[in-house]
A and B are shown apart, each in its own frame.
Chain A
């Protein structure tokens, strides 16, 4: 008994001692000068590896691409600090010759590597030639496919000679999340094998150098350079944080706890429930939107992606019928608990895309008709976004905007009507029949659809897929979900799916050019059944009209307004053909804590970049953040 009592006393003493010796979040660094952000890559297996040019050898979003790397241009997914386009290492925009077989880049002067060596054309030439000579580096393949030679007529000009016309070759060096970064020639030329060199510590062009890192891969700390003015973001002023730490805070619940304890300034993403908890309980936490839906809409468009090479999905009437069976309000509630930004058309409703595409096409969508075989039917419901807002208002109160423009920005505009009668007519037109409660294909087989979802890896999208399968099943289609979990990438590439919840559309966000994803949809890239499909035409859809749009886009310059017209032609085409069913933007619940920092981007007053901290564009946020007084 004495033993027992002693044990209990020892235990309590240990607990007290633990509390008394509780350490701060970060050792030997001033918390008020340190920004702590989540790295969504989690724990890095190979933390001492900073050679970002070796494919997937180490972490990228550890702060390495956000704070340390640099390249010619950045396109912001939102509005940009000084416009969406930023000339970074380049002094001007790319200069193409008439037939897009040559691209000249004038380089910015006065930029220095962190070890004091000046940046020049030699670094660019070295980077490109290294990728030409070595297979297996991250950008070896696109460089070898496109570049015939590179030349530098002077220390601040490089000329790329291309193997074939490519009006968007500059996209390789234009950051939209990442891009091909420039290597330090004076460091890498000493390495025996650029693919096996760990580049530790990294010599950088960015405003931050590596301060320290966890040998077990949980955290990376970066320190602002004393000579930050000699970097490309020096034009925008001194970056606020002296130190920036990227950490692995663990599962979504722990991220919420960490922020409520003010140990995590920026959550990269959490669950909708986690966001709502923070919105209710933490006065200093806020999302991209100050109210519902809080989340930042990524320039990515989750959709129901059909395998259009399968016989059952070749008929667009079938695809349209399945679209009309979806009640997007229910899908929004099931997936994001209502915090979704819907899109009926084939681009995500984010950045400047609503201005160039969603608004101008609204009139066309309202008048758009499909032939159900029985009648002409107008499938577009312009009030769906407002309907979702109305559904949420009783429980969320003044968190839900009332202004139509704000509702459109937060929840989206219209979507396709949920009309089972029209769906029935379309399926019958396609030769399907209903016997009892079940639908049958034209050849008399049960109409079965397996909707592939990612499972725990992407719970929000899994919930969306489950709701869609349920809605189809209620109609009489034998629909169910198949969880791919870790095999999603393999199955997607192999075409081993019938329908899946994923995305094949990603846009720049800030720039209206759609070739970022659309070029890959040309029929020349569609793989034969059973062969691996290259990104991003996962639906394996071929259409001669689409090919014409893509080929014409290739022939016009990046900033040519003709590109926007062609983009609208694409949207009208995919609305008619419905190769995929667009759902919503990929909403990211990035949450920012203002306990230590102010100046974060937001939708209402400061949309200068997106707040999601794993983007290369995050570096612009550093110039706006200031410590709380």
Chain B
């Protein structure tokens, strides 16, 4: 236990260091962007309407003051950390003066909902199929399933997404192709809204599952193929234990350990958003928010989204590292 406590403290320290370095890198990279949010704002404000060149210089100055972009980089760095210490990323520069945290808060639940379900679904189906395929190696049906699953795996995601869009949005238009829910439906925890959200999530989730399932399938099949040659499995088979029980309790249970690690890492990664998914299906997540922010030079928003992602991924890794020694007696802490 004292050994574990020391390990816990060490890992926590590493987590804090990783987050600190990651956020610092994000700060300097975003501030190095050649896209000036003031010029983007002026361009957007003047690209169609009447402009007065004399007014532009004044507008530029006013916007710099409004956006707090005066002062050097180090001054902005100090202001940034003062805000982050109280979980404030400041106002968005492209949706001024709305706080970045509000914009992220609106988009994040959609990303988490879609990607959490898709990731878990792909994991469950991939591992199930992979386990079955690895154990019942002579089954033609499972071999066919394996071919199909692995067939999707190398296809670029955007192709799968567009094919689904065309199939179910145009050829057989039974599913919505855009948005998170039906137009004019009030958001709330009622049956109609939930059904609408689920309907709108089918295509994006399906595209993610189809592409994601292959990796889990291959991993599980390989692990199971190794484990079935173990002595205890052979012993159980010779002892007359029924095959489904051997598969579930003897084989897959042992094969799952590394897959659980992978799942935890993948779940941490959902906070990165799924940019292509959100762009193709018009899903209101943080991936789209990030793309818009980059194009607008809104580095407050880019920094906010990136920081959330850094913390989430690091936290997922930390959680796995802390739980593993507790769950698997073979893992020793030093």
A interface list, Cβ under 8 A from B: 1, 3-4, 7, 14-15, 18-19, 21-29, 42-43, 45-46, 49, 54-58, 135-136, 138, 140-142, 144-146, 171-172, 174, 176-179, 195-196, 211-212, 214-219, 221, 245, 247-251, 253-254, 257-258, 260-261, 457, 486-487, 489-490, 492-493, 506, 516, 520, 525, 532, 534-537
Contact = CB atoms under 8 A, between A and B. Distances in A.
Contacts of A43: 282, 284, 288, 292
B182 A493 contact: no
Most chain-A CB neighbours within 10 Å: which of B94, B177, B297?
Answer: B177
Contacts, number: 228
Interface string B266-301: 000000000000011110100011001011110000
A7 B126 CA distance: 12
A26 B165 contact: no
Interface residues of B, number: 82
Contacts of B128: 3
Nearest to B61: A135
A29 B132 contact: no
Nearest to A496: B34
B39 A490 contact: yes
A174 B195 CA distance: 46
Contacts of B44: 56
Given A29-B184, A487-B35, A54 B96 contact: yes
A1 B139 contact: yes
A454 B45 CA distance: 19
Given A1-B139, A56-B45, A258 B132 contact: no
A55 B63 contact: yes
Nearest to B56: A534
A147 to B, nearest CB: 11
B54 A218 contact: no
3 closest Cβ contacts across the A-B interface?
Answer: A141-B55, A489-B43, A216-B284
A258 B279 CA distance: 15
Given A23-B176, A261-B173, 20 more contacts: A4-B129, A4-B132, A4-B141, A18-B199, A43-B292, A45-B92, A135-B62, A136-B63, A141-B58, A142-B50, A145-B54, A176-B48, A178-B48, A216-B107, A221-B184, A250-B280, A257-B170, A261-B169, A490-B40, A490-B297
Contact of A1 (B34, B52, B141, B202): B141
Contacts of B78: none
Contact of A489 (B40, B94, B96, B125): B40
Most chain-A CB neighbours within 10 Å: which of B46, B51, B169, B295?
Answer: B51
Nearest to B200: A23
Contacts of B92: 45-46
B49 to A, nearest CB: 5
B257 interface: no
A18 B165 contact: no
A493 B58 CA distance: 15
B178 A218 contact: yes
Contact of A171 (B50, B65, B174): B50
A19 B284 contact: no
24 contacts: A1-B139, A3-B132, A19-B175, A27-B184, A43-B288, A55-B45, A56-B94, A57-B97, A141-B62, A176-B50, A211-B184, A216-B180, A216-B284, A218-B178, A247-B183, A249-B178, A250-B282, A257-B165, A486-B294, A487-B34, A487-B35, A532-B39, A535-B51, A537-B53
Interface in B167-199: 169-170, 173-180, 182-187, 192, 195-196, 199
Contacts of A18: 174-175, 199, 202
A94 B233 CA distance: 93
B236 interface: no
A457 B296 CA distance: 12
A589 to B, nearest CB: 18
A144 B282 CA distance: 41
B324 interface: no
Nearest to A526: B53
Interface in B142-182: 142, 145, 162, 165-166, 169-170, 173-180, 182
A326 B41 CA distance: 34
Contact of B50 (A57, A179, A217): A179
A249 B139 CA distance: 45
A532 B60 contact: yes
A136 B43 CA distance: 15
B35 A260 contact: no
A248 B282 contact: yes
A243 to B, nearest CB: 9
Contact of A49 (B59, B95, B139, B175): B95
Given A4-B142, A23-B182, A196-B97, A257 B169 contact: yes
B82 interface: no
B174 to A, nearest CB: 4
Most chain-A CB neighbours within 10 Å: which of B92, B184, B288?
Answer: B184
B238 interface: no
A394 B220 CA distance: 58
Nearest to B55: A141
B56 A141 contact: yes
A218 B39 CA distance: 26
A208 B176 CA distance: 28
A7 B139 CA distance: 17
A534 B51 contact: yes
Contact of B62 (A45, A136, A490): A136
Contacts of B52: 141-142, 145-146, 172, 520
A251 to B, nearest CB: 7
Interface in B86-115: 92, 94-98, 103, 106-107, 110
Contact of B110 (A27, A216, A253): A216
A28 B236 CA distance: 61
Contacts of A1: 139, 141
B62 A21 contact: no
Most chain-A CB neighbours within 10 Å: which of B35, B55, B58, B94?
Answer: B55
A350 to B, nearest CB: 15
B16 interface: no
B44 to A, nearest CB: 5
Contact of B95 (A45, A135, A212, A536): A45
Contacts of B97: 54, 57, 195-196
Contacts of B281: 250
B50 A21 contact: no
A340 to B, nearest CB: 21
A49 B177 contact: no
B319 to A, nearest CB: 29
B17 interface: no
A428 B10 CA distance: 74
A46 B92 CA distance: 10
B57 interface: yes
Contacts of B260: none
A54 B57 CA distance: 18
A145 B142 CA distance: 75
Most chain-B CB neighbours within 10 Å: which of A54, A136, A506?
Answer: A136
Nearest to B195: A21
Given A136-B65, A534-B57, A251 B279 contact: yes
Contact of A520 (B51, B165, B297): B51
A142 B55 CA distance: 5
Contact of B183 (A57, A145, A214, A490): A214
Nearest to B297: A486
A398 B173 CA distance: 33
Interface string B52-84: 111111111011011000000000000000000
B98 A49 contact: yes
B36 interface: yes
